[in-house]
Amino acid sequence: MRLVLVLGDQLSADLSALQKADQENDLVVMAEVVAEASYVPHHPKKIAFTFMAMRKFAQSLRDAGWRVAYTALDDPENTGSITGELIRYAAQNDAAGVVYTEPGEWRLIQELADMPLRSHVLPDTRFIASHSDFENWAEGRKQLRMEYFYREMRRKTGLLMDGDKPEGGKWNYDHDNRKPAPDQVDFDGPLRFSPDNAVMDLVAERFSDNFGDLQPFWFAIDSDQANAQLDHWIDAGLPKFGDFQDAMLQDQPFLYHSLISFYLNAGLLDPLDVCQRVEAAYHAGKAPLNAVEGFIRQIIGWREYMRGIYFLEGPAYTARNGLGHERALPDMYWGAPTRMNCVAQAVKQTKEHAYAHHIQRLMVTGNFALLAGIDPAAVHKWYLAVYADAYEWVEAPNVIGMSQFADDGIIASKPYISSGNYIHKMSNYCGSCAYRVQDKTGEKACPFNLLYWHFLDRHRDRFSGNPRMGNMYRVWDRMDAEKRTTVLTEAEAWLTKLDQGDAV
Ligand SMILES: Cc1cc2nc3c(=O)[nH]c(=O)nc-3n(C[C@H](O)[C@H](O)[C@H](O)COP(=O)(O)OP(=O)(O)OC[C@H]3O[C@@H](n4cnc5c(N)ncnc54)[C@H](O)[C@@H]3O)c2cc1C
Ligand code: SF4
């Protein structure tokens, strides 16, 4: 007999390791271990979600006839690591070896490879592009732009294709998906499910020092519930998803977003099935093309592309720091007071829900970290810890590449930076802020306005030749010299206060 390892983000009945295993003889191993629960200080909701979903999945395997060895976190014999548990169960059962599906993180891939047990590693087939698909696509290209990869994925899956042409004549309807915040949201957010109380008690006892609220817990914890959430959103959220995809509203954390990334990444939902159901809603006339194309692009485009980059670039990717940013992560990211309402809003809902939507991650917390020159490794660890959907294969390229431009432009052709204007246009945050978004200098000047020019000025050598940024430098250069000096002096003073730990 062999052991069959199922990790906490591999909760799919069609996992390659389960497909290859022998139900009669093999023993499935699942383990809640302190090493995985604490290599970053994960949000308590993320830990609770993972353990609850693991326990339910283990039960569903038993119901289907599998033998499952499940180690709970507080099991006295728990060795504390995945490899420790495999070695322990192998000795107890005289196992001939271990079958497992490749993990989504270099750290664990290496740990398992170093384990003194005979192993059979299988590819993770729950993605649309295999490693070799991505490598073949990337081969010989000067730039790895997501848009071209996405078109290949459209052709490969047949999603939104009209023969060999894109549905509606265009590949990408992003242009229609940038409406500012609506006055009211007529979607009541995700379905709310009941937690497993034993796990709630365990996480409350063991992880209460971690940043984040455990209560109220509302996540789906099995695939039936996750599918119910998807159906609910397709009916009520999808039609306006595209229009308001980039919008942000005070005290409205969810808007028209699907809230399925946790379920997709843990294996409770299948990405292709999700996209096919969303496409069916379009063909049934229930949702417009801009919403459906925009959503499908996020999944078969961005999600697959990020994974491709993570595996293509190798384990050193997370240590990249192309812009030489060294500032410590300010305490406001862990909930310390800040006068910047946009940052306070994004952090508050992150603390409450282990969730923030894409534009909050990219254009508020990410944008601020980039403008302020924060060490990308610290930013990466923060995102990995605080979001329930954060696994390194998807989080690291989004943070190191897309958000912090620390990979020197593998993912983004220019840094995602903006002054306060963008946040003002896309949200209603500025109206309740202690700073004034209209002020470019002065006591109440929006810090994003000051830091935007500070960033461009300090990275002039790196970016002034970038064709997509020439305009920004022309505006800066046309500014009165005295005003430029004032902006830079005030930005420096503001950063000094930030470094001193003042509530800026
Ligand atoms: C700095 C930063 C860090 C991020 N970290 C993560 C992360 O750790 N895990 C994660 O799953 N996503 C991450 N994202 C992408 C995106 O923010 C989340 O996938 C999304 O907010 C999840 O919420 P949702 O399910 O409501 O998504 P929706 O807005 O409804 O989008 C639908 C789905 O598209 C996929 N998707 C959308 N954008 C991306 C993207 N850029 N990369 C990969 N998948 C995408 C997700 O699976 C998501 O569920 C990050 C983005 C940024 C800018
Ligand atoms: S004024 Fe500036 S800091 Fe305040 S909410 Fe607007 S963008 Fe954020």
* pLDDT in single tens digits along all 504 residues of the chain: 999 999 999 999 999 999 999 999 999 999 999 999 999 999 999 999 999 999 999 999 999 999 999 999 999 999 999 999 999 999 999 999 999 999 999 999 999 999 999 999 999 999 999 999 999 999 999 999 999 999 999 999 999 999 999 999 999 998 888 898 888 899 999 999 999 999 999 999 999 999 999 999 999 999 999 999 999 999 999 999 999 999 999 989 999 999 999 999 999 999 999 999 999 999 999 999 999 999 999 999 999 999 999 999 999 999 999 999 999 999 999 999 999 999 999 999 999 999 999 999 999 999 999 999 999 999 999 999 999 999 999 999 999 999 999 999 999 999 999 999 999 999 999 999 999 999 999 999 999 999 999 999 999 999 999 999 999 999 999 999 999 999 999 999 999 999 999 999
Contact 278 CB / ligand 1 (< 6 Å): no
What token pair was written down for 38? Answer: 């604490």
Contacts of 99 (CB under 8 A, 6+ apart): 2, 3, 4, 5, 17, 20, 21, 26, 119, 120, 122
Ligand 1: centre distance to CA 358 (Å): 6
Say how far apart CA 78 and CA 174 lie, in whole Å: 49
- Closest-approaching ligand to the CA atom of 259: 1
Ligand 1: centre distance to CA 134 (Å): 20
What backbone phi and psi angles, to 5 degrees, belong to 243?
-50, -45
Say how far apart CA 229 and CA 232 lie, in whole Å: 5
- Closest-approaching ligand to the CA atom of 358: 1
**Are the C-beta atoms of residues 419 and 446 closer than 8 Å to each other?**
yes
Site to probe by mutation for ligand 2, drawn from 347, 367, 429 as the one with most ligand atoms within 8 Å of Cβ, is: 429
Contact 398 CB / ligand 1 (< 6 Å): yes
Is the full-model pTM beyond 0.85?
yes
Contact 358 CB / ligand 1 (< 6 Å): yes
- Closest-approaching ligand to the CA atom of 295: 1
Ligand 2: centre distance to CA 363 (Å): 11
Contact 282 CB / ligand 2 (< 6 Å): no
Say how far apart CA 126 and CA 265 lie, in whole Å: 10
Helix (H) or strand (E) segment spanning residue 3: strand 3-5
Contact 257 CB / ligand 1 (< 6 Å): yes
Say how far apart CA 244 and CA 41 lie, in whole Å: 32
